Each structure stands twice: as C-alpha cells, then as structure tokens.
Structure 1
Amino acid sequence: MSSSLFTENQRLTLVANGLRSNWDDHFDPTPVVKLFTPDANCTWLLSELDPTDQDRAFGLCDLGLGCPELGYVSLIELARIRGPFGLPVEQDRRFRANKPLSAYAAEAQTTSRVQA
C-alpha cells in the first residue's frame, strides 16, 4: 500500500529512521516525505516508519484544522483518503527537507499549519 505514497528508497530511509529512534532518544531526523491532499488542506511530513509495523508512520500531521501535531498515522488509512473532489493523497516530489522534524513542528505550532 505504501508504494503509492513513496518510493522504495524513501521507505528504506523511513525504516532506518524508525530503527534509530528505538535506541536514540535524541534523534531528530529531517522529514523524508511530504504528503498532501491536492483538494483539501491536509499535510503530512513523515520521518519514520515503525520497523515492526510498516503501516505505522511517524511525523507531523496537519488535517487543516489549525492544530498540527506530531504523531503516528496509518499508511493504509492515508491511501484511502479522498478530498472533496475525490482526489487521493499525493507526494510532493519537489519537497526537500531543510531542517529537522522538531523545527517544522515548532513552526507549525506558531503558525497553526505545516509550512513546507
């Protein structure tokens, strides 16, 4: 299911980040992938996949309601989401992270939205 949301290389990086997070409490990776709804205001900056459950991703989640937060999301559920015009979640292929996930989260708390 995740293959439609990101590449195999991105998946490998997400899993590696998930593995490192298990033993390094200070690990603050940059987001690997940015997902969004083209016909709604939802954005996900994903930095990790749970190595034991690769349906479970961690990142900064913004459902367009003014309260973005760090947390886990199901890739199966993301793949099922459709916006008001029926468009699925897409990857922003131009996105290149330039700071750690914590910096995106701090900025999102100030502006009430993900800016990436």
Structure 2
Amino acid sequence: MPMAIGSAAIPFNIDFVLDNLHIRHYFQAIVSADDVTLSKPHPETFLKAAAQLGVTPADCIVFEDVPKGAEAALNAGMKAVILTTTHQGEEFTHLPNILHFAADFRDEAVKSLINAS
C-alpha cells in the first residue's frame, strides 16, 4: 500500500520527524506547506499527494487529527480516520467522510484498514 504525507507543516519540520524516527522509507510522496498554494481545508494538499502516488482520491484514506484536515479530505473526495490526540470526536460530527475515531494507530479498526489495503 503506497503512503504519503500531506501536511501543512514546513519541510524542515516534516524532515525532522521522518529522519529522527527513521520512517521516511515508509512514504512514497510528501506534500508540505511549501508545495501548495492553498492550505487546508482546501483539498490541494491531499490531491497532490494522491497524484504523486498515482491513485484516485476515492481510493485514499486520510489519517487526520484536526477538523480542517478532515474537511480537506472531504473536499478532496477522500475518507478519513480521526486520531483523537488533539481534538474530540464531537468536533467532527458535521463531516460525513469519517470512517472511524481512534486514540492511536494501535486501534484494531485502524490496523484492519491498513492490512486490508
């Protein structure tokens, strides 16, 4: 399953995390704040990431932790899984593209989504 990062962060911050956690090799595409004209909730970030992966937006699942990011996924025609690390589920109830809420990536439903791909 190809994976991308679509972040509103600047490249330095993304690189810091990826390189210090030694996880860069898991991602085939990275779209940062420097790569887009319009920020989330505009879908540009996620659409560029999907294009770089060569997949259609409808075949993507976005993992997000903020409402604007989940809204950007909706605007891109993508489903979303919400990690409730910074916001509570109630803050996302207006968004119809939410598949699941999870505390972290160890959640069984998240694991099944990842393994199904």
Structure 2 length as normaliser, TM-score? Answer: 0.25
Q: Greater share of strand residues, 1 or 2?
A: 1
Bigger RCO of structures 1 and 2 (CA < 8 A, at least 6 apart): 1
Q: Greater share of helix residues, 1 or 2?
A: 2
Structure 1 length as normaliser, TM-score? Answer: 0.25
